[in-house]
Structure 1
Amino acid sequence: MPARWRACSPEPAPVPSAGSGVPSQGPAGKARGAQHGTIPEEGDSAMLPNVMTLTALLALAAGNAAAMDDVALARAVDARLSGDRTGACFAVAVIERERVARTYRCADGTATPRIGADSAFEIGSVSKTMTAALLAQLIAEGNGSLDDPLADWLPAGTVVPAFEGRPILLRHVVTHTSGLPALPARMQVSNPADPYASVTPAALLASLGDVTLQRAPGTQFEYSNFASMLLSYAVAQRAGQPFEALLREQLFAPLGMTHAYIAQPPGGVRPTTGHLPNGNPTAAWTIPGDLAGVGGVRATLDDMVRYTQAQLGLIEVPAAVRAALEATQQPVSEQPPMAMNWMLAPLAGRRVWVHEGGTGGFSSLVGFDPANGRGVVVLSDTALTALGGLGSLGAHLLDASVPVGKPRKVATPPAEVLDGLVGSWQLAGGMRVELARKGDTLTIHPAGQPVFELGYDDFGDFYPLQFDALLSPKQASDGRWTFVWLQGGGAMPATRVDDGAQAGQARLDDATLAAYAGDYTLMPGFVLKVDAADGRLRAQATGQGAFPLDATGTDRFEAAAFGIELRFQRGADGQVNALELHQGGRVMRGARG
């Protein structure tokens, strides 16, 4: 997961990746307005491809999982966190067969710790794996099947879309292949800092009637919190209990998760204050009632240790609960590889089970490696989704051969980057903004809004000092600069208003484009599909959105906004038979299928 193991968080927009990680699963979807909003108040967000993902890092890992104590764990966390400009604090545990190492660390190691053993964190979309466990118990009791149509689990008369007679099944919901959009059309976001607070079951169900499926369910991954809210509601209705009561009775109590909750905190627990990545505190999220299985659980580090130990079979739990957890771990889909709301990622010849989560002020990660009896929990009191999440640290703690990642520190931007970005820009589907130079930094002026000053960090990204967003510069092969704006879970490529370069891109003939079309397997379960659209090549990686490519030379194409270059290779017969994908200094090669 550095940028994506995730099948992610309940954020109200597709979540981009900013580091290395697993294929972008794009959490949540999209909603108008931005969290703590300024800037993208118009239009929809575009998914940012990040094909150089943690899947690649894990596949190359050598399988090094040394035993770890509290001191060694603190040292590893400090390597990732110490001095990070976000000021984040992490609660981290590494679970092994014989022991558990724990640590609570903050970016500012001299500050008074603001988290501890009694701190309850929002775990975001990791909650979805718990909803899956409740579903598995209902199925085991004879109350349904993964092959049931979703419509059978919803109130009579609910209009549920189908595609050419093919219904949405529960297996499509737990693998994010339902074809439903990220969020319901009738979701009203009255407070961007608490976007789910006003969602009602009536609006959720009515939104199904607004959907026309574009493809058959089960054919394409598209992360949908809409579908996950429907599942949460359906599980509670089928069980005949409120969702929180059901979760407490069927999972929290049997696993000894004594401080986990949704809306009713037990005694002895301290709700943690969440933070934006600029260090400012932010409001907790409210996900009402029976919809909370999409991402509403709060838990302490020890609660999540118990949950992970149970997944690994390291603690005694009731047989029915154990069977349900085992059922959620069984593969359900291979494109991308998923169990029931668990992502399946390769690690040194094995598979690990993993899920990341995020809310407006928190990030989380749970992963486990059954072959080695090892698990990891990382809980952050700061939202880090737009900055790459917690994947690099989580992967490193599962296998030390994966780089731990490093903190983001304040830096001075190069003059050529500043000069290259100055000018007028149009955000994809959003508004016009003006970038201007102010000494050794930039300011951004969104149309109709105040001017905001941008900071800069040593990852090469700019960030507003007053609110949560990221401006990630990209340099094209011809030296021109552009950028992607990341905010509220959305990724919006920018087009320079005054150069018209994108509109003037040459269109290639159909025969030329057809020579490159095909499926290129970059690694098992991770395929780059190349085809043509409107006279240009486009590419789509497993579990990610499609992106256009522009020709830059013989057999070379690029998506400059995402820092991606494709170099096609030809065999002795002159036909294209493979490609190399270059991104962020890494190269992946795939043969044409």
Structure 2
Amino acid sequence: MPSHRAASLLLALSPCLIAQTPASPAPLDGIWLGTLHTGGPSLRIQIHLHQDAAGKWTCSLDSLDQNGVGIPCTLSSATNPIAIDIPAVHAKWSGSLTANTLDGTFTQGADMPLTLERQSTMTKPTPPATPDAALPPADATTIRAILDKDLAAALSSGALAPSTNAGVTIGVLAHGKRTIFTYGTAKPDSVFEIGSISKTFTGLLLAQMVEQKSVQLNEPVRDLLPPGTVAKPASGSEITLLDLSDQHSGLPRMPDNFAPADTTNPYADYDSKLLYADIAHHGVSIAPGAPFGYSNLGVGLLGSALANRANLPYNDLLHQQITGPLNMTDTSVVLSPSMRSRLIQGHDAAHNSARPWDLDALAGAGGIRSTAADMLTYLEAQLHPNQLPATAASTPQGKTLPAAILASHTIHADVPPGMHIALNWFRADATGNFWHNGATGGYSSFALFNPDKDFAFIVLFNTTISDKSFADRLGQHIAQRLAGDPAVSLAN
């Protein structure tokens, strides 16, 4: 990702476990290096963990062969089982410490073995590819011709080569003009899973319900759950709706009781009964100054809580508050017959066909499907909330939408390094770009808007995150082309 130098890691990997003789645990503080064997190029992964004099841990990850340096991570458990969250690439590592080895599993849509060995010095990353030269700032009328040239190698032998069956739909909005175009197998009206971009809709649902005075940002989430779901903490603070939206809730990335019966559709059987049981077990107390920690559980819980307060299923609440007023007829958790007929086939990292993911209780964290046209309507509303379609003003929910959109951009917390977070939108401090990416088992996506420069775009790709994460790199590239900056190369 452009704002934090993140590189996404591979999903399709061959096993690589190294047997170790158990020994007395050694301190976690240090440099840890391991290799993901892909069947093609291997990826060296380096994690730097440090505990300061006050006992506070810092964590960063380097994907050395992708020049992904300083990717922020969080040590959510420092005792066996060790747990490290890497929110920038929607991943985590969990395992155990024995002597000078961290032996465990890297999870990024699928579980993969990754063993890390203690190192005495930091290993330097592979030098980055030379960026493409800067061009004059692109707009909606020139971006297609630019990308035709910039994607030539990807179309012949890279991420969009015919053998991959991959397709990408791109929508660009700049200074009031929009364009939608495609490469590969995608069509302009293809439906994609948008993954964690769904979280920004959940953030806007929160802002809408605050404007309508049915909830408050500082309201405990416990008050929105069925009575008796979870006990009030005996002392101290408890998790609020804002804590869930700004990813500072202290909740783990995934529920402890997440054990899908079908790993090809892993969220389908995770229902509200399991969600509430997990929250009851975890509790809702929160430590003062809880750090940023990307949590699908947290935002999924927020979506369920808001739906409870509204007495509506999440999908119906989404339609009532956002997609209905904006006339986004192709955006939904539940596929309409028309959307289903246009749902493009998804693929895993090895280019095999992948099933769509059906999300139940955690739909607010990643369950929405959409098209480029609808997503441009959504992003145009972010750029110009006071110029919404006429349909918006015809409903009570549409009348509060302009103020809610502006409120959803208000910065609430930091996300090191160089970022802050609003109501689920990340903002890169250096550029002023608001962004979010997403991924499911067969799709990946990237959305960005910049109110000051008046541009926005959506990238929808029918392949999950993988080596060099094509959707993220393409999103970074488009942002740089629209800004007139040197652009990350898409040639490999």
TM-score where L is the length of structure 2: 0.69
Query: Are the aligned partners of 1:35 and 1:192 in contact in 2 as well (CA < 8 Å)?
Result: no
Displacement of 1:352: 1.1
Q: How far apart, in 2, do the equivalents of 1:22 and 1:353 lie?
A: 20
Match of 1:144 in 2: 215
Distance in 1 (alpha carbons) for counterparts of 2:245 and 2:421: 8
Q: Does residue 1:274 correspond to 2:346, yes or no?
A: yes
Q: CA deviation at 1:176?
A: 1.0
Letter in 2 for 1:257: M
The 1:221/1:33 distance shift into structure 2, 3 A limit, reads closer
Partner of 1:338: 421
**Larger deviation, residues 315-324 vs 195-204:** 315-324
2:239, 2:284 within 8 Å by CA — same for their partners in 1? no
What's the counterpart of residue 503 of structure 1? none
How far residue 4 of structure 1 moved from its aligned partner, in angstroms, is 5.2
Give the conservation status (yes or no) of the 8 Å contact 1:74–1:105.
no
In the other structure, the counterpart of 1:387 is 468
Q: Is the 8 A contact 1:228 1:294 kept in 2?
A: yes
Note closer, same or farther for the CA distance 1:192–1:395 as it changes in structure 2 (3 Å cut).
Answer: same
Distance (whole Å) between structure 1 residues aligned to residue 321 and residue 123 of structure 2: 38
Matched, 1:326 2:406: yes
Cα distance, 1:328–1:379 mapped onto 2, change above 3 Å: same
What is the 5 A alignment of 1:170-319? Answer: 170-211=241-282, 216=287, 218-267=289-338, 270-288=342-360, 290-313=361-384, 315-316=388-389, 317-318=392-393, 319=399
| CA distance in 2: counterparts of 1:91 and 1:407, whole angstroms | 18
- The residue number in structure 1 matching 2:439 is 358
Q: Within 2, Cα distance between the matches of 1:323 and 1:5?
A: 32
Are 1:92 and 2:170 counterparts? yes
For 1:128 and 1:36, the matched residues in 2 are separated by 17
Change (3 A) 1:330 1:34: closer
| Offset at residue 235 of structure 1 (A) | 0.9
Shift of residue 80 of structure 1?
Answer: 7.2
State how far apart, in whole Å, the 1-side matches of 2:445 and 2:401 are.
23
Question: Kindly tell me: are residues 36 and 231 of structure 1, through their superposed partners in 2, closer, same or farther at Cα, counting changes over 3 Å?
Answer: closer
Report whether the alignment pairs 1:406 with 2:490: yes
| Partner residue, 1:462 | none
Q: Give the distance between the partners of 2:71 and 2:259, measured in 1 at CA.
A: 30
Specify whether residues 334 and 7 from structure 1 end up closer, same or farther in structure 2 by C-alpha distance, changes over 3 A only.
farther
1:372 matched to 2:453? The reply is: yes
What SS is found at the alignment partner of 2:287?
Answer: coil
Shift of 1:354: 0.2
Whole-Å separation in 1 of the counterparts to 2:277 and 2:193: 28
Going from structure 1 to structure 2, the CA distance change for 1:195 and 1:402 (only over 3 Å counts) comes to farther
Contact 1:8 1:357 (8 Å CA) reproduced: no
Aligned-partner Cα distance in 2 for 1:116–1:140: 37
Is the CA contact 1:228–1:293 (under 8 Å) kept in the aligned structure 2? Answer: yes
**The structure with more helix, counted as a fraction of residues:** 2
Amino acid at match of 2:328: M
- Asked if 2 retains the 8 angstrom alpha-carbon contact of 1:85 and 1:278, the reply is no
Residue pair 1:232, 1:291 contacting (<8 A) in 2 also = yes
Counterpart CA distance in 1 for 2:235 and 2:214 is 27
Shift of 1:117: 2.1
Secondary structure of the corresponding residue to residue 355 of structure 1: strand
Amino acid at match of 1:282: A
* Secondary structure in structure 1 of the residue aligned to 2:259: coil
Preserved contact between residue 172 and residue 456 of structure 2 (Cα < 8 Å): yes
Q: In 2 relative to 1, CA 374–34 (structure 1 residues): closer, same or farther, beyond 3 Å?
A: closer
Q: Is 1:40 paired with 2:113?
A: yes
TM-score, structure 1 normalization? 0.58
2:338 is paired with a residue of what secondary structure? Answer: coil
d(CA) in 2 for partners of 1:214, 1:225:
18
CA contact (8 A) 1:243 1:292 kept: yes
CA deviations over 1:76-132 (Å, ceiling 9, x no partner): 6615732215733211121112311222012xxxxxxx2212210000000010111
**8 Å contact kept, 2:437–2:445:** yes
Aligned-residue identity in percent = 30
Q: How many residues align?
A: 384
Measured in 2, the distance between the counterparts of 1:163 and 1:385 equals 44
In structure 2, C-alpha distance between the alignment counterparts of 1:35 and 1:371, rounded to whole Å? 34
**1:36–1:128 distance in 2 versus 1, CA, 3 Å:** closer
SS at the partner of 1:119?
coil
Deviation at 1:394, TM superposition (A): 1.6
Q: Report the CA distance between 1:388 and its aligned residue.
A: 3.2
Matched-pair contact (CA < 8 Å) for 1:331–1:340 = yes
Counterpart amino acid of residue 406 in structure 1? L
User: Any conservation in 1 of the 2:249–2:286 contact (CA below 8 Å)?
Assistant: no
Paired residues of 2:3 and 2:428 also in contact (CA < 8 A): no
Q: CA deviation at 1:251?
A: 1.2
CA RMSD of aligned residues (A): 3.8
Kindly state the Cα deviation for residue 224 of structure 1 after the two structures are TM-superposed.
0.7
Shift in alpha-carbon separation, 1:144–1:355, aligned structure 2, 3 A: same
Are the counterparts in 2 of residues 166 and 216 from structure 1 also a CA contact under 8 Å?
yes
Deviation per residue, 1:143-191 (Å, 9 max, x gap): 1211111211212212268596121121111111111111111122112
Q: 1:145 to 1:312 in 2, by over 3 A?
A: same
Paired letter, 1:324: A
CA drift at 1:279? 1.3
Letter in 1 for 2:359: I
Contact 1:187–1:198 under 8 Å retained in 2: no
Measure the CA separation in 1 of the matches of 2:111 and 2:242: 38
Deviations 1:501-520 (A, max 9, x none): xxxxxxxxxxxxxxxxxxxx
Alignment partners' CA distance in 1, 2:367 and 2:175: 29
Could you tell me which residue of structure 1 aligns to residue 47 of structure 2? Answer: none
CA 1:213 to 1:333, structure 2 compared with 1: closer, same or farther past 3 Å? same
Contact 1:363–1:380 (8 Å) recurs in 2: yes
What pairs with 1:554-569 in structure 2 (closer than 5 Å)?
none
Aligned to 2:193: 122
**Structure 2 vs 1, CA of residues 389 and 180 (structure 1 numbering), >3 Å: closer, same or farther?**
farther
Moved over 4 A (4+): 2-9, 14-24, 28-39, 49-52, 61-64, 160-164, 212-215
Corresponding residue SS for 1:116: coil
Q: 1:351 to 1:41 in 2, by over 3 A?
A: closer
